[in-house]
Each structure stands twice: as C-alpha cells, then as structure tokens.
Amino acid sequence: MLQYILRRTAVGLLMLLALTVLIFTLLRLTPGDPIDAYVNPSVPISASDLEMLRTRLGLDRPLPVQYFAWLGAALMGDFGYSIQYNGEGVLPLVLSRIGPTILLMFSGLVIAVVVGISTGIFAAVRRNKLADLSLSTAAFVGISSPAFLTALLGLYVFAVNLRWVPAGGMLTPGAPFSVGDLLAHLILPATLLSIGHGALIMRYMRSSLLEVLSQDYVRTARAKGVREFWVIVKHAVRNALLPVITLIGSTIGIAIGGAIFIESVFDWPGMGLLMVNAVVRRDYPVIMCATLLTGACVILVNLLTDIAYAAVDPRIKVA
C-alpha cells in the first residue's frame, strides 16, 4: 500500500506539472496583450514606459523562460501579486478563499451522499413501483439540469419570490457573526450544488444494489431466515457501495466546476468567484495559483478515494 501511495503521489505531481504547462500556455495564447491587464486604460502611458513595464515583468522573454521563472518562484511559495486586488499577495489571497469553498463543497457533497445513497437504497428495494419510478424520474431531471440553470432558478424561486433564504453572500453585512446566519446563507447554494451529484449517486446506488441483491450469497442469507432488513444492510449495501465510493471521489472535480457557477450566482466569497473575476480581469497570477491548488485537491481526493475503495473491500489487492 505504501508503494502504491508513493507511486500515485509521483504520478499526481507529474499531472500537476503538466497542468501548469497547459494553463500557462493557454493563458498566453488568449487574444490580447498580457501587459494590458497591468495598465489603467484611463491613464495615458508612453510607448517607452510600456516597454519598460514589459521588461520589468519579464514579458519580453521567450515563453519557456517565463514559465520556468514562474515555476521556480512558485516552488518557493511566491506566486506573485494580484492585479485586481491592488498588488495583494496571490497565495494569501487564494488561501483566504479556500475556506468558504470547502464549506460549500463539503456541505453540498454531504447532502448529495446522504440523500443519494438513501434514496438509491429505497428505490432498489421498491423496484418498479411508484416510489422507484418517481425517484428515477427526479434523478434524470437532476442529472440533466445544468448547474447555472439550477442556481438561477433556485435563487429566483426561494430567495427572490418566497424569500425563505438570503439572496447571496456568506454572511449578512454589518451583522455580528452567528452560526444561524451562516447556515441561512449556506443551505440554498449547498442544496443546489448537491442536486446533480445526489441524482447521479442515487442512480449508481440503485443499479449497484439491484445487482448485488441478485447474487447467490444474498439468496442464501434469505434462505437461512435472515430478516430482509439485515440482508440489505449487512450483506448487500456494503458491497453495493464500492462503485459509489469511486463515483463520489470522481465527482469532486465536477463539484468544483459546479461551485464556480454557484458562487458566481450567489456571490459566495470562495475560489470559484475569485477565479471568475480573475479570468474577466486577466489576473494571470491568481488564475495560475488557483488552478494549481484546485488540481492538487482533485488529485489528493482521487488518491484518498482509491485507498478507501481498497479499505472497504479487502479482496482488492493494490497492484
């Protein structure tokens, strides 16, 4: 297992390196001059001053030289300074946004896992009955609904029309901090973020459990007189969870994409909103740092998922 973890970690580091090359190259290939992001269009600047600024920022050097200069500084923890936040350090800025994003994603994934697994089990047990058909239809709708459309509809219905929850932000401006206020702002975006993932988990759980329930050892347990509840809970659900665990790990990357839309719609002060603003304002240092940390999180979660998969099923041997 230790060799497997070390090997996967090495592969993950190579993937991160390839990700930085890809993002750095794509940013430089986007239309426009990177120097424009550093210049206030309302303030006139001479061509000599512009060229001096380009030289100071290293934008006059070849692209590979620029990349390795950035990579060397990044390895030392220096990701540069943000353009849109008046020269604030990029790393402290990005790290300050990780907490709200983790809170939103964790809450959404917890809701998705709990609701998805429980409804998947219920649908499998009530196969081809009204409850199963209703849940399956709802799951197909949830899977087919884009995150931005779900976010806008949820905001319009529950925040604007019904006014059950606040329309945006993480806390009420000017009000003292309270857990109740935080939960009031969190419940709607977290629930909307969980819809697609919960629906997908429900379909996987239902399909996997139906397959397990048809196995010989399940029929043997029933023949021995074991109560149906314990047949499902003790014998079937654990084995049915194996593909679901893999799915949960793989949805982390998808959840990050969904969080970008959710944070933009609800003005949630996380990394998603930060990245959107950075792309709009061509804040290259912030984009590079946020992308690197996001990729590292996805790779780490996938590694933990593989370890959890092996822990759940002792029959699995790590090659």
Residue scoring higher pLDDT (259 or 119): 119
| Separation CA 22–CA 16 (nearest Å) | 10
Supply the pLDDT for residue 315: 58
Supply the pLDDT for residue 1: 66
Most confident of 164-173, 178-187, 271-280: 178-187
Share the mean pLDDT of the chain.
82
Residue scoring higher pLDDT (158 or 53): 158
Give the pLDDT mean for 254-259: 73
Give the pLDDT mean for 299-315: 69
CA 296, 302, 306 angle in degrees (round to 5)?
145
Q: What is the dihedral of CA 307, 312, 313, 319, to 10 degrees?
A: 0
Phi then psi dihedrals of residue 89, to 5 deg? -60, 135
| Separation CA 95–CA 112 (nearest Å) | 26
Supply the pLDDT for residue 247: 79
Give the pLDDT mean for 143-158: 86
Give the pLDDT mean for 130-144: 88
Supply the pLDDT for residue 188: 92
Q: State yes or no: pLDDT of 197 exceeds 60.
A: yes
Supply the pLDDT for residue 196: 86
Q: State yes or no: pLDDT of 133 exceeds 60.
A: yes
| Separation CA 308–CA 288 (nearest Å) | 30
Q: Are 5 and 307 in contact (CB under 8 A)?
A: yes
| Separation CA 21–CA 15 (nearest Å) | 10
Query: Which has the closest alpha carbon to 143: 200, 105, 190?
Result: 200
Q: What is the value of pTM for the model shown? A: 0.80
Q: State yes or no: pLDDT of 242 exceeds 60.
A: yes
Q: State yes or no: pLDDT of 264 exceeds 70.
A: yes
Q: Domain limits of the chain?
A: 2-61, 94-312
Determine the CATH number of domain 94-312. 1.10.3720.10
Give the pLDDT mean for 235-256: 77
Supply the pLDDT for residue 175: 81
Q: Cβ-count burial of 271 within 10 angstroms (0-12 exposed, 13-18 middle, 19+ buried)?
A: buried
Digit-coded pLDDT (tens) for 205-235? 999 888 888 887 878 877 887 787 787 877 7
Q: State yes or no: pLDDT of 314 exceeds 60.
A: no
Digit-coded pLDDT (tens) for 47-74? 787 788 778 877 778 888 888 888 888 8
Supply the pLDDT for residue 114: 92
Tokens read off for 117: 């697994």
Q: State the CB neighbour count (10 A cutoff) for residue 306.
A: 18
